[in-house]
Amino acid sequence: MTIQPQAHILVVDDDPQIRDLLQEYLAENALRVSVALNGQEMSQILADEAIDLVILDLRLAGEDGMTIARTLRDQSAIPIVMLTGVRDEADRVMGLELGADDYLTKPFSPRELLARIRTVLRRTRSTALAQAQRREIRAYRFAEFELNLRTRRFKRRDGQHIDLTNGEFNLLAALLAAPERILTRDQLLDASRVHENEVYDRSIDVQVLRLRRKIESDPSRPQFIVTERGVGYIFKSPVEAVY
């Protein structure tokens, strides 16, 4: 099975054996592959090429892979799959919080990496399509609140602004786009760009708890974001889409 002919993958790793292995293996699976050994080469390729996904080793010689990941995420929405050491749990968590889409620990199976690339690209394209379908919507309104999709501002009708993290904003936008519909944790994980591994699936519950504290009059008895036990959450309020 292939994702899409000639999807362009950029491998950033200072190990020539890994670069050569991935370049050969991914090319055999209908992917176009470019390689870089450091952040400077990565930037040059990104300036010249339309890259669909970056595979980034967080332990580049003489460079801070986390800084590279942060810069890449600040400048673009290109999906990132991180390569980390087995013991680098703190790096994995920090990378995911920065907005990386997935990770794999070394040593790894090229076949597993290919499967993760396919999953991330499918999810990214699905998200892009959903965004395109609702691109004419400027804001959502419910109760006394308004979520502006263009300015990414959340406020009360009286003008009081409420700060949201990127994950909280994306999660709330996903809920408001489907009021009165049960959304599973997997769907919400995709929408808020949180890693989908079961180790992290409770992070959706944490974000929901934080959102409830910001919008519910009594977070212990939510009226807006209601839990559907064993499934996910449902937004139980009329929502107005503003075009």
Identify the residue with better confidence: 152 or 11: 11
Q: What is the pLDDT of residues 127-169, one digit of tens each?
A: 655 565 555 787 899 999 999 888 888 999 788 999 998 888 9
Answer whether residue 47 shows pLDDT above 90: no
Q: pTM for this structure?
A: 0.54
Tell me the β-bridge partners of 184. 232
Where is pLDDT greater, at 9 or 135?
9
The confidence score (pLDDT) of residue 149 equals 86
Say which residues have a Cβ less than 8 Å from residue 64's Cβ, sequence separation at least 6: none
Output the average pLDDT for the chain: 83
Domains of the chain and CATH, by start: 7-132 (3.40.50.2300), 139-242 (1.10.10.10)
Beginning with the edge strand found earlier in the chain, give each strand of the sheet holding 7-12 in spatial order. 31-36, 7-12, 53-57, 80-85, 102-106
